Structure 1
Amino acid sequence: MKKYLMLLLISKLVILSFSLLISTQNQSNILFSYQQEGKEKNKTIENRPHKFNENDKSEIKEIGFYKRNNLITIRQIPQNVKKVPNELPVEIESLFGAFANRFEHHENVMGFENWNTSKIKDMSYVFSNNHIFNGDLSNWNTENVENMQGMFKNAIKFDNSGKPLSWRTDKVTSMESMFDGAKSFGQNLMNWKVDKVIKNRNFSRGSGFFEENNKKPKWINIKEENDPIDKPK
């Protein structure tokens, strides 16, 4: 009888231990599942295409982006697009070449003048070779921008819509060719803080303020050097 009771007790203990093991394993699986789900939610999307209005391909409903030089970069806005969303995706860190290479036969774009650009680090070549834009970018936040190289290069009509361009440029290191060929631009930039700028070659070459030193930033550690302007033969 004692042996029977002992065997019964051992059997119950084995069943109980097995049940506890299964329960612990299930809890671990649930926890792992939650952790994986959390990782997926927190994972940053690095690549997506533009999403267009189905009835009007000249309007972008959601802006696309990709990864370039370790920065989430806006996809270039196609030349047929006339309207973009009023909000910039929070993932974007670079506006490299966003509105570049737009000429007289292309559409002008509206919708980006009040974008929240506080996370942007790279604004290089945003309006390079844009021959039609002359909007007001006064509301763009540039406090974290490090690269403005070629931003308005050959943007021949740009003058910030005739309004002052009072940007914060504390972190910018490159302004090379920023206004090179921007022949209409004549705003006063003397109040720009350019202490960290180490590259400024051709900054104002051929611009509307090329020969007006009283409108140029007060360079701290470097002098502005400009290559000769190529004259048509």
Structure 2
Amino acid sequence: MSKYKPTNKIELRSLIENNNIYLGDIDTSLITDMSMLFDKPNFACFEGSYSEYESYNVRIDFSGIEKWDTSNVINMRSMFHNIKNFNIDINNWNVSNVTDMAYMFFGAENFNHPLNKWNVSNVKSMTCMFKNAYNFNQDLNDWKINKDADIKDMFVNTSLIEKPHWYNL
């Protein structure tokens, strides 16, 4: 049984900003929007120096996130945007309802886990999804991509040796 059950992204964000809360204790089954969830606050609103801002992370420990119920999520745009230390296996997430994954792992430099189990057939935007995720090098050939999905610059600056067969850009 989960300790926390947020009903929206604002409530979820307040929980994840508390590094004393284990992410596995959060029931995310009601969440539909996880866009920019771990992104930094706007610099104009940040209390501190520029160097502190640059080193700021919303979250340090991501353990337990692999247990999240993402079956109702529609938007994951920029979810891990510039979270350099993120590298957790989230291959078992149900992302079948997600329509926006643009910039999801943009700048997540250390991320390199399989995502081959993901059903991404409803995703309409994957623009820059892995851009600047320098260590990413996983086989995504099993993905069934929506023929109208925007996949521009999806793998720019990754370690991906062989692009998936469906990536025709």
Shorter-chain TM range is 0.7 to 0.9
Which structure carries more strand by proportion? 1
Greater fraction helix:
1
> 1 CA distance for matches of 2:83 and 2:73?
20
Where do 1:5-20 residues align within 5 Å? none
State the shift of 1:81 in Å.
5.0
Distance 1:73 1:200 in 2: 31
How far did 1:164 drift? 5.1
Q: Which amino acid aligns with 1:174?
A: S
2:146 equivalent in structure 1? 195
Contact 2:84 2:108 in 1 (8 A): yes
Unaligned runs of 5+ in 1: 1-60, 225-233
Structure label with greater radius of gyration: 1
Shift of residue 82, structure 1, vs aligned partner: 5.8
Equivalenced residues, count: 153
Alignment match of 1:121 (pick from 55, 74, 83): 74
Structure 2 partner of 1:172: 123
Q: Per-residue CA shift, 1:165-210, capped at 9, x if unaligned?
A: 321111000000100000000001112111244322211110111x
Change over 3 Å in CA distance of 1:217–1:98 after alignment to 2: farther
**TM-score, structure 2 length as denominator?**
0.76
Q: Which residue does the alignment assign to 1:206?
A: 157
The higher-RCO structure (CA 8 Å, 6+ apart) is 2
Separation (CA, whole Å) in 1 of partners of 2:5 and 2:107: 25
Counterpart of 1:96 in structure 2 is 35
State TM-score, norm by structure 1. Answer: 0.57
Q: Give the superposed CA RMSD.
A: 2.9
Note the residue ranges of structure 2 that are not aligned, 5 or more in a row.
Answer: 41-53
Q: Percent identity?
A: 28
Residue aligning to 1:134:
87
